[in-house]
Structure 1
Amino acid sequence: MNDGIGLRYGDVHARGAPVVFVAIISVVTFGGGFFFLLHLFRRDQKILWEGRDVRALVEDVRHLGTNDSGSVEIKYRLSWSEDGATKQVEGRDTISAARSSRVQKGCEIDIKYLDDRNIMFIFDK
């Protein structure tokens, strides 16, 4: 049966286009997600292996939100002495609710410091 534009119903070109589009979108979505998770894993490993151990003072911490698993997103400002000067960094992180009590204003916390954008809280030593 002809639909008037030169394609017959059931023709590969008529039915295959949406399938190809969905396949491409699926590959991009899952591939992008996989590479993003790989990037996060590699970043964490780099911080663990190349970062310096620092004992930092929590100068400020703000609760930004809680996710479905009970983890808490915080915004923090930390400081420590380094080469006779005070080093300050700010950032955001998601930590478990059970550990959030250890990141309070005025408390000292162990961190791994690679640079101002790559910091990891160390809760278990």
Structure 2
Amino acid sequence: MQSETVLVVGSTGNIGVAAVIGALRAKRSVLAIVRKKESAEKLFKHVGTKEGITVVEADLTSETGMLRVVKDVKAGKLPAFQHVYATGSDLRDTNICFNEVYLNLRVEVDESAKQNGVSKASDFAECY
């Protein structure tokens, strides 16, 4: 049986990395949306693997970007997804971070979390 796929929008950000790690730990595949294909290498570095992750470049702030992803899923070019995780964009234009306000903690990718003394994305992944 093929594993379920989780669509992660914002997959290269601190919370996005945690969502990807959480999905992989739950034995799910990941369809990771990135703005630029080069960002995928950053994601793989922070997650520690490429296995189980399908990366697609798309600008989801444009209608055509989202439509292309949906069209490619329908055509079988991308895996169908059963779950969606999108990092909170409603606070994007503010100086407020969702996880700091609602969860009272700061999450960063593991490498910088150690340096800054904040929660690691791999630890936060348990929330997913």
TM range (shorter): under 0.3
Which has the larger share of strand? 1
Which has the larger share of helix? 2
User: What is the TM-score normalised by the length of structure 2?
Assistant: 0.19
Q: Which has the larger radius of gyration?
A: 1
